[in-house]
Every structure is written in structure tokens, then in C-alpha cells.
Amino acid sequence: MDDLIPLDTVIKKNPRVIELENQGFIIEPEKINDYLDEFKNRKTTLPDKNFWEQKRVLITGISGFAGSHLAEQLLDLGCEVHGTIRRHAVPMHENIEHLRGHIILHEADITSAERILEIFEEIKPNAVFHLAAESFVPTSFREPVRVSHNNIIGTLKIFEATKRFNQGLESIQVACSSEQYGLVDPNEVPVTEDIKKNPFRPRSVYGITKCATEQIALLYHKSYAVPSIITRGFNHEGPRRGIQFVTSVIHRQIVEILANKRNKIIIGNPNAIRDFTHVKDTVNAYILLSEKKKFGDPFNVCSGMGITIADYVKLAKNIYNLDTGVFIDKKRMRPSEVPLLIGKNEKIYNETGWKPVRSVVDIIKEGVKYFQDHPEMLGIEAH
């Protein structure tokens, strides 16, 4: 534990961050009630069940975090839901076990053109949601070639299939990422979709693959009239989030502290600022943009407010009345960090009426409850 550093010794505030706080773009634990007041009676546009009922829908990466929540929403809308899954040594996909019998699964490596073409020919989907990707940023530092091959070649194979089997296809949404923006100048925050104001400066191979994913979707739309829906999702969080992601790392430690199995919280960079949106709001945005046929135009999917990782921990501690030390583990720092990402969601609101209706407090409470309900997923060493 010699590498652990007390949180208070590494907290830093950029002057621009203080400005953003004053402008209302930063969530502060001390002013959480003001923030929560904005969510009271907030309205959003929801997908139209009459539009989606009995549509054949294909979700690539259905067993992933966002894919599983998207499947739930589409089932509620009356869709016939298909999804691709990768073959595992053990045929378990925990995120979708509760959906067995309600969804139709197809084993596939998305980089296999033959298999993807077979699936498209069999399903003849009305809508596709392309979520399959290696999405954990640190993995792209450890395995850049594999992540690039999966994310870029896989996307090309999907779009080749849409070009070939496009009869009845009304939309294909591609889940791009705020990681495309990368090293954002603090004066460029909040980030808009305008590439002239907010150029892409990705700081990871993952971010680079998502730039490529967006360009592929745009190319096929312009060249072959493929009905591409492009979403740039900022951090989406909630129950079933992968255990390696920062919110789940924090939620799991909170559960262990509540169970008297841990006496400190350990995180990576506390000064990073992220724009967190509940995954259920995020997937509703994906569905709504597809329904509204917003082709070939990128949309930020975000809350419009950021919070430091340090304050996310502080807020979680406040919710559960914890007086626990917080420490930084230098080994958890990324080789190339993105310090500040807050998006602007005016465009999607103006064109669809979508707004997030769940708060960061909802994310924390539901994330913690998920791990309380699934103790087998804890297993963090006690400190």
C-alpha cells in the first residue's frame, strides 16, 4: 500500500473549472439540493410504442452494459429483439440472463463478414443498434491492435451488411463516444457537436476507433444512403456497469464499507471531470434518434453537467453517511489522461425533446444497490 496517496494532497482546480462551477456546469456535493431541484418534474420525450411495436431490431453487443438496457427498453416497446453475442467457454451472459426467452441471440464475431451477412439475411432487421465494441479505455492501451481490429473492422463488416441487406432497414445507430473529443481545451467546454469549435483530439486508441466508427457511418450514409444514426455518448452509468469502470469501482467499495469489509476507498485520478448520464436515459436517446430518423448528423448524448471523480466519491460518502478515508493509487492512472469532458445537449433536445430525467444520485444509489444484490461480483480485496 506504499503507492497510496491521501486524496487531499492531490486535489487541484483549474481556474476554468472554478468558472464552470460558477456557471452551473459542475455538480458540487455541497449544493446537491440545487442540482436535484432541476430534476423535479423534468419532462422528456420518450419513444413512441406505436412506431416500434413489432419492429425487428438487431443489437450488436446485446450482452454488454448498454446493450442489455437497450434490449429491455425495446422489449417494452413491443419489438422483436435480436442480439449478437460472442462465444464464451461458459455460456453465461449475466447482463441478459433475465431476458432469456424474450430475446433471440445469435453467436457471432462481428469481424466475420460471412457470419454477419448470415444474420442480416436471416433477420432482415428494421433497425440496427451497433453497440459491440471493446469499450474499456485502458484495454486499448494494453491491446491496441486487437481493440482497433474489433472496433473498426467490425464496424465495416456491419455496414457492408447493411448496404447489402437494406430492404426494410429504417436506421442503424452507431454508439460513438465523447472519448473522440479527447484533450479538450478548458475554454472549449461545454463541448458541442461542431467539429470546428470542438475538434477531435483522442487520447486513446479506443477514442481513435470511435472517430473511425463515426466516419464509417457517415461515409456509408453519404455514399450508399445507409440510414446512419450517429451518437456521441458521454459516460453512461448505472446498474450492471462493468466492474472495471470507475463508477462501479466506487460503488463496489461503498458496498464493502457498508458490510464492514473495507476501511478505505481507493481510486485513480481524482481531478478528472466527467459528464455522467444514467444508462436508461442514454438508450432512450438512441431509440428516439432512430425513430426520428436523424440521419448522418452527430448528436451528443450527455447530461450537460460534470463532476470530479473526487466529488463523485464525496457525494457517495454523503449519501451513505460514511466517514472513510479516500486514497489515490498511482497504478490506476492512465498513460494518457483526458482531464475534462462536459457535453452540451442542446442539439438533441431541440431536435427530439430528449433530456436526462435521472440524476447522478440515482446513478450512485442504483449502482450500489446492484452490487448489494449481487455480492458474488464484489471480491475486492479488503484494505
CB atoms within 10 A of CB 51: 14
| Residue 268 confidence (pLDDT) | 87
Long-range CB contacts for residues 149-153, cutoff 8 Å, separation at least 24: 149/111, 150/110, 150/111, 151/206, 151/209, 151/210, 151/212, 151/213, 152/209, 152/212, 152/213, 152/216, 153/111
Question: What is the DSSP track for 359-372?
Answer: -HHHHHHHHHHHHH
Q: Which residues fall within 8 angstroms of residue 252, CB to CB, at 6 or more apart?
A: 243, 371, 377, 378, 380
Give the single-character DSSP code of 261: S
Report the C-alpha gap between 232 and 226 in whole angstroms. Answer: 18
| Residue 372 confidence (pLDDT) | 95
Domain boundaries, given as residue ranges, for the chain = 4-42+239-275+305-344+357-377, 49-236+277-301
| Residue 35 confidence (pLDDT) | 95
Residue 319 gets the label, from left (phi > 0), alpha (psi -120 to 50) or beta, of alpha
* Pairing of β 4-6 and β 56-60: unpaired
* Pairing of β 104-107 and β 127-130: unpaired
Report the C-alpha gap between 233 and 282 in whole angstroms. Answer: 7
Helices (H) and strands (E) in the chain, counts: 14, 14
Selection from 276, 296, 197, 269 nearest residue 233 by Cα? 276
| Residue 381 confidence (pLDDT) | 41
Report the C-alpha gap between 204 and 178 in whole angstroms. Answer: 12
Q: Give φ, ψ of 82 to 5 degrees.
A: -110, 155
Q: Which class does domain 4-42+239-275+305-344+357-377 fall in?
A: alpha beta
pTM (two decimals): 0.93
Each residue's pLDDT, cut to its tens digit, for the chain (383 residues) gives 557 888 888 787 778 888 899 899 999 999 999 999 999 989 999 999 999 999 999 999 999 999 999 999 999 999 999 999 987 544 568 899 999 999 999 999 999 999 999 999 999 999 999 999 987 787 888 899 999 999 999 999 999 999 998 789 999 999 999 999 999 988 999 999 999 999 999 999 999 999 999 999 999 999 999 999 999 999 999 999 988 889 999 999 999 999 999 999 999 889 999 999 999 999 999 999 999 999 999 999 999 999 999 999 999 999 999 999 999 887 776 665 678 999 999 999 999 999 999 999 999 999 999 999 988 877 644 33
CA distances from 317 to 74, 269, 312, 313 (A): 35, 18, 9, 6
- 105-125 burial by CB neighbour count: b if 16+ within 10 A, else e? bbebebbeeebbeebbeebeb
Instruction: Look up residue 120 and give its three cell numbers.
Output: 442480416
Report the C-alpha gap between 380 and 153 in whole angstroms. Answer: 35
CA distances from 350 to 83, 205, 233, 353 (A): 31, 32, 17, 6
Q: Which class does domain 49-236+277-301 fall in?
A: alpha beta
Rounded to 10 deg, the angle between the 279-291 and 65-76 helix axes is: 60
Report the C-alpha gap between 226 and 163 in whole angstroms. Answer: 6
